[in-house]
Amino acid sequence: MIWKSGRDHLQVRNRFGWENFRDPWDAMPLTLHDFWEWGLGDFTSNAARGALAEFLVSRVLGGLANGGPGAGFDFVTKSGLKIELETAAAYSNWPAERRGSVLYCIAPTLIYDHGTRQMARGWSRPSDIHVFALLLLGDRGLVNPTDTSHWVFHVVSSRALDQLEQSSPVINHSALESRSRSSPAGWRGPVLYRNLRVEVEGLGVAMSR
């Protein structure tokens, strides 16, 4: 399948894993599956964890399309909500204060307008909702990131992030938990994976009122 979001954009074709790498003359005895196993086999790594979290969240929310380069959000749901996903990891046996100090990026961004081929003049959060995903790690070899019970989610409206008093580009997990308890209108969590869609859609409805 080929995805192309607009004129002169990169064409991206879904791969299956059996494709060989090539040099200018012949196929090499290396496949994409070899790369995936080498580069993405450890789901606790930052790159693999982020990709896995986006896969899980987009599937449960019914994601229809990726935001694309420069969009400022990760995907769009069937109901039209623009979702930005941030992930982090913490060991489950860490003391509460150390786990609570885990940081997520919430900085505004500059949006690229593909129509004008120019960056926006101001910083903004073009997403409607931020989903924060924390992977709780056990001992090495025992954690299973494909088990959704190992994940903790928080759901926050971008409007609520805009209203934060401080201008910090990050927020820690303790602040997410605290505000979710005291400000349920724009902050929700912790949320189980199976309930994530209900919470996101519910927050989307609340924002439209």
Q: What is the C-alpha separation between 54 and 158, in angstroms, rounded?
A: 18
Whether residues 97 and 170 share a domain: the answer is yes
pLDDT of residue 2: 35
Predicted TM-score of the model (pTM): 0.82
Domain that holds residue 18: 1-39
- The structure tokens 């509460």 sit at 96
pLDDT of residue 198: 95
Whether residues 67 and 9 share a domain: the answer is no
CA distances to 23, 29, 64, 186, 204 from 172, rounded to whole Å, are 46, 45, 30, 17, 23
Length of the chain in residues, anyone? 209
Whether residues 19 and 118 share a domain: the answer is no
Of the pLDDT bands very low, low, confident and very high (cuts 50, 70, 90), residue 117 is low
Whether residues 62 and 8 share a domain: the answer is no
Whether residues 176 and 195 share a domain: the answer is yes
pLDDT, average across residues 104-132: 80
Q: What is the C-alpha separation between 149 and 140, in angstroms, rounded?
A: 17
Whether residues 92 and 175 share a domain: the answer is yes
In this structure, what are the phi and psi dihedrals at residue 29, rounded to the nearest 5 degrees?
-80, 35
CB neighbours of 195 closer than 8 A, spacing ≥ 6? none
Contact 136, 43 (CB under 8 A): no
Burial class (CB in 10 A: 0-12, 13-18, 19+), 107: exposed
Whether residues 117 and 190 share a domain: the answer is yes
Q: What is the C-alpha separation between 131 and 54, in angstroms, rounded?
A: 10
Position 89, amino acid: A
Q: pLDDT tens digit string along 71-103?
A: 678 899 989 999 999 999 988 888 888 888 999
Whether residues 79 and 122 share a domain: the answer is yes
Whether residues 15 and 62 share a domain: the answer is no
Tokens representing residue 88 in the block: 């982090």
Q: pLDDT tens digit string along 121-164?
A: 777 788 999 999 999 887 655 677 888 999 999 999 999 998 88
Whether residues 78 and 47 share a domain: the answer is yes
Whether 6 shows a pLDDT value over 50: the answer reads: no
Taking the CA of residue 195 as centre, how many other CA atoms within 13 Å lie in the half-sphere pointing to its CB?
A: 14
Q: What is the C-alpha separation between 24 and 158, in angstroms, rounded?
A: 48
Q: How many domains does the chain have?
A: 2
Q: pLDDT tens digit string along 33-75?
A: 888 888 777 777 888 888 899 999 999 999 876 766 666 788 9
Whether residues 28 and 63 share a domain: the answer is no
Dihedral angle sign, alpha carbons of residues 82, 62, 187, 174 = negative
Whether residues 12 and 72 share a domain: the answer is no
